[in-house]
Amino acid sequence: MPRLSEVIAELDALWPPGRAEGWDAVGTVCGDPGAEIDRVLFAVDPVERIADEARALGAQLIVTHHPLYLRGTTTVAASTFKGRVVHGLIKHDIALHVAHTNADTADPGVSDALAGALGLRVTGPLVPDASDPEGRRGLGRVCELDHPETLRDFAARAAARLPATAQGIRLAGDPDATVRRVAVSGGSGDSLFDAVRAAGVDAFLTADLRHHPASEAVQHSPLGLVDAAHWATEWPWCEQAAAQLDAISDRHGWGLRVHVSKQVTDPWTTHHSSGAPN
């Protein structure tokens, strides 16, 4: 049975903390390096429901994509919801490890998992990592469809293949436009429009598209926009990352039992609409 320090060393090799953005907060949040690990849970968000699930499973390690404390804190008091998470984890000897922007740009990374869930063929990163001589790492991915389809059908593909959320899939652009090449970026992607236009794709699938950037993008070009829930675009990474750790466990003979949380931790819970405008 491996020690936490051994498992973390392998996770850091997959997603080196030094490749995270300067503003990010990645790495091990809590946990005894000498503790023995035989069960791991992957999830997007380090919320109480995920900590409860880990405890019910008997997992000694949770790996999440989102940080618990992104902007730092002066307290972990149990009177705060994040403090309650910390108290619960420590009380039940559960470690927490975060791979965020260092997993976004990895090879394979978050957007590779998103492309895989959508059945797309990746041709390269949308924003290449200049430090990667092979040109495989970077933010987002440029992809090709096996066969052209309408933007409407591509949005339907996303709705069918990504985990269901209250938001569903929003579409901007001509629904009958033909889509052959697309860009995808897990998580918030409206800072990437310049790179998306430069890539010459027909559509861009991402999350958290704000009104003004989206409005400017559709006025700028015939680019189709497909906006999914943030959680839904990043959840496929959990399955990809779990498979990577499974392979590492097999190689070392660790016998780890690796789980992926199926809980929907997207904050939006219901959706009401009188129908799309004409």
- Residue 273: the pLDDT is 87
Confidence of residue 129 (pLDDT cuts 50, 70, 90): very high
Q: For residue 93, report the phi and psi dihedrals to the nearest 5 degrees.
A: 55, 45
CA torsion 121→124→125→127, rounded to 10°?
A: -130
- Residue 159: the pLDDT is 98
Within 10 angstroms of residue 255's Cβ, the number of other Cβ atoms is: 10
Confidence of residue 278 (pLDDT cuts 50, 70, 90): low
Residue 276 pLDDT > 80:
no
Q: For residue 100, report the phi and psi dihedrals to the nearest 5 degrees.
A: -110, -100
Taking the C-alpha atoms of residue 20 and residue 272, their distance in angstroms, rounded to an integer, is 37
- Residue 277: the pLDDT is 67
pLDDT in tens, 134-188: 999 999 999 999 999 999 999 999 999 999 999 999 999 999 999 999 999 999 9
- Residue 55: the pLDDT is 98
Taking the C-alpha atoms of residue 51 and residue 256, their distance in angstroms, rounded to an integer, is 19
Q: What is the mean pLDDT of residues 230-251?
A: 98
Residue 235 pLDDT > 80:
yes
Q: What is the mean pLDDT of residues 210-228?
A: 95
Give the residue ranges of the annotated binding site. Answer: 65-66, 104, 230, 234
Residue 72 pLDDT > 90:
no
Amino acid at 27: G
Choose the CATH number for 4-102+234-260 among 3.10.20.90, 3.40.1390.30, 3.40.50.1580, 3.40.50.460: 3.40.1390.30
Q: Where in the chain do CATH 3.40.1390.30 domains reside?
A: 4-102+234-260, 106-228
Give the residue ranges of the annotated binding site for a divalent metal cation. Answer: 65-66, 104, 230, 234
**Superfamily of the domain at 106-228:** NIF3 (NGG1p interacting factor 3)-like (3.40.1390.30)
Q: What is the mean pLDDT of residues 188-205?
A: 97
Q: How far is CA 6 from the centre of its chain?
A: 24
Taking the C-alpha atoms of residue 110 and residue 108, their distance in angstroms, rounded to an integer, is 7
